[in-house]
Structure 1
Amino acid sequence: MKILSRAVLRGWAATLTGLVATFGMLLGPAAPAAHAVTAPPHFANGFGLTVVSQPKWVDANRRTFVITVKSTQVPVYDVLKDQVSGEHVVMVTLPEGYDGTAGTRYPVLYDLHGSPEYPNSSRYQALAERSTKGVPLITVTPNGGARGWYTNWVHPDSRGRQNWESFHLDELIPFVDANLKTIPTREGRAITGHSMGGFGAFHYAEDRPGLFSYVGSFSGVLDLQNPLLRAAVVGSELLPNIGTPTAAPDAIFGPPVWPLDGAWNKASAAQNVGTLRGMGVAMYAGNGGDLTDNPVLAVAEKVDRQSAVTTAAHLKAAGIPYRFADYGDGSTWARGCNGKHAQDPCLQADMNDFVKLIMKRLRHP
């Protein structure tokens, strides 16, 4: 057997390399990887929603886009600065590798914002993108209004319909399922939210348990029988910095005093947990930490924690399993979390934990 010299082998290798390069030039540049999304999905009107502007990426990472729609259930609403009444911005974060032309379908997490917040804020983008890095999960943050309170208002007056619950559950969810590669069943859907959004998540899950397999609350306003939380809701109606025009104190849930407070009691998440049976349930809250440091946010968190404690008691009495991350001053929960309301490090830790929980239950690739 003739043994080839190293020089001959090197010559053959160089020749093969040249041939590969030549074929490469003839065939053109390599096709982009299947997961390299270049354009956001295109959405079609439907289910009571009309597309005002098609999806646009929020940055060069091309994971999160915003789409603007109009709703038949909330044709106008009280706005914050730069919002257009009647135009609803929805922010969507896609999983890495999402391909609208492929057969792969993904579960969806609906993340409801607080008051007064924007659905397309950098906070909610960061919460979604960081918690779902490497996770096959779509995250949707819809407009809930500065003071929408995720419910169908009792007395909207001249505004016309303020049917936020109908907008989200009857219009938005099927709209998302029709335009994205989702798993359009209860087993492919979860919901959570912060503050006002925590109430919204529980309220929606309790009203329509057939839609969701997991519900979460991040410092949510869960107990509408608590007089302090009723005062917070009424305050959100009256203060111009929480949306203009302002609303009457009975606009959303009706009069907040007995015996006219039936709508408040019916909507209160803490006392109406029975329909959550068979669903995953998680709550997160701090204790406010040092009350001398930012007392407003400290007290807000302390009151919301108490509403979670009340909800936990009702869940326990009903025999419904739940997770309650009661993280105190936040020192053992996340770096930079001081146990106060609306702190990004606390919320990010909440979201990270919640995504891990729901992915154990949701159907996914």
Structure 2
Amino acid sequence: MKSLRLSAAGTALTLAALAGTGPAAAASTTAAPVVTAAPSALPAFADGHGLILVPGATEVHSATDFTITVTTGQLSGSHRIRVLLPGGYAAEPGRRWPVTYFLHGGGGTVDDVAAAPALHSDSMITVVPDGGLKGWYADWLMQNTALGAANWQTFHTQQVVPFIDANLRTVPDRSHRAVVGLSMGGYGALRYAEARPDLFGHVASLSGGIDFGMAEIRAAVLATELNVTGAWCAASTSTPSGTGRCTGYGPSTDSDAIFGSPYPVFGADHVWNEVNPAAGTNLARLAGTDITLYTGSQGLVDHYTEIASATVKARLDQLRIPSRFVDYGNGSSLAPGCDGGHDYGCWAPALADYVPRLSAAFAAGDRTS
């Protein structure tokens, strides 16, 4: 098994070296001013569902944009949850709102949402939970790495979702709840929608690593475990410095830490197969879910996310499950600032295309509920 881990490292290093050869194309954002004490106009949050608020840690960017910090037994350390409220939230105290959960990419943070203005919508609440630099939206097989407890899926689906429903005026049903993610978060979004169809009625994956049947996608996961900084890290986060490169994926971990051995030898990779969003048995669970896939085709990373997304679309078609697939190729059909690469120059306009459609779907849910 030791030799397998060394081979995994070699695979990850090779992919990361290739990915790092071109310039990064991450969006640059300027952090909004932070107020250390929340104004009284903000909703009051209370501990619950295994989450404990950290006193005095609330960051306020505006009356409708703030970040709380919580601790949980499911994860080591403290973790931020950014909340974007619709403009009418305070003025309409009798109204309840649909919720979209936005899952950031590898090497990213909750503040990446600032690079996608469409997600701050007056038609819905957007919640951006910390997904870790390399959490992969999974409950890790190994809980004794340098990162300690790492049950990301449990944190998000069993704690954050009910916690938000308990503290904000949401419409707490699947018809009014979406999960959207990009890159690593694109995997997380599709995986969560499959694992918990009772929670999420809408899902969108943007440039997602959504086919674990591909060796290249598995290698990208290994690169994050081993903290090999490459294009998946460099371009999947918005950095305030404008350098376009994130600082890495945190402490190195065992290459088998998240999903076990990635090698298809005597069933050693069974966990990868079980959580593969592209597996037919998993895709079948999306019947009745509103599904959207976006990807470009340029650069090393989106070359592979295009293949993965096309595979998922084809299998959904075989299952006769409706979905919308937007392959914007070199980006010319999407927006002037999109070059078809793995970055917010494409993701921001893709989300600007998606959010009005999602808002209409939420409204349709109002009429049928």
**Is the shorter-chain TM-score for this pair beyond 0.5, marking a shared fold?**
yes
2:249 to 239, 243, 248: 243
Match of 1:106 in 2: 97
| 8 Å Cα contact 1:100-1:181 kept in structure 2 | no
C-alpha distance in structure 1 between counterparts of 2:202 and 2:257, whole Å:
30
C-alpha distance in structure 2 between counterparts of 1:242 and 1:231, whole Å:
16
C-alpha distance in structure 1 between counterparts of 2:69 and 2:59, whole Å:
12
Residue 254 (structure 1) shift:
0.2
C-alpha distance in structure 1 between counterparts of 2:92 and 2:361, whole Å:
26
Match of 2:261 in 1: 255
1:202 to 190, 203, 216: 190
| 8 Å Cα contact 1:132-1:355 kept in structure 2 | no
C-alpha distance in structure 1 between counterparts of 2:211 and 2:330, whole Å:
22
Match of 2:43 in 1: 41
Match of 1:232 in 2: 220
Structure 2, gaps ≥5 residues long: 1-38, 229-246
Name whichever of 92-101 and 108-117 sits farther off: 92-101
C-alpha distance in structure 1 between counterparts of 2:57 and 2:258, whole Å:
31
C-alpha distance in structure 1 between counterparts of 2:87 and 2:57, whole Å:
17
C-alpha distance in structure 1 between counterparts of 2:140 and 2:324, whole Å:
31
Residue 38 (structure 1) shift:
6.2
1:267 maps to a residue whose letter is V
The structure, 1 or 2, with the larger RCO (C-alpha pairs under 8 Å, 6+ apart) is 2
SS of residue paired to 1:242: coil
RMSD between aligned alpha carbons? 1.9
Is 1:265 aligned with 2:267?
Answer: no
What are the Cα deviations for residues 213-233 of structure 1, in whole angstroms up to 9, with x where unaligned?
110001000001100110110
Identity %: 38
1:273 maps to a residue whose letter is L
C-alpha distance in structure 1 between counterparts of 2:163 and 2:173, whole Å:
13
Matched pairs, number? 304
SS of residue paired to 1:201: helix
What are the Cα deviations for residues 237-275 of structure 1, in whole angstroms up to 9, with x where unaligned?
001653332110000000000120000011111122100
TM, length-normalised to structure 1: 0.79
1:267-346 matched pairs, under 5 angstroms? 267-271=275-279, 272-288=282-298, 298-342=299-343, 344-346=344-346
1:359 maps to a residue whose letter is S
Match of 1:359 in 2: 359
| 8 Å Cα contact 2:106-2:249 kept in structure 1 | no
Residue 277 (structure 1) shift:
0.3
Q: Per the alignment, do residues 94 and 126 of structure 1 end up closer, same or farther by CA in structure 2, a change over 3 Å counting?
A: farther
2:138 to 151, 157, 167: 151
1:32-71 matched pairs, under 5 angstroms? 39-53=41-55, 56=58, 58-59=60-61, 61-71=62-72
C-alpha distance in structure 1 between counterparts of 2:293 and 2:43, whole Å:
33
| 8 Å Cα contact 1:89-1:120 kept in structure 2 | no
2:80 to 79, 89, 101: 89
| 8 Å Cα contact 1:40-1:55 kept in structure 2 | no
SS of residue paired to 2:127: strand
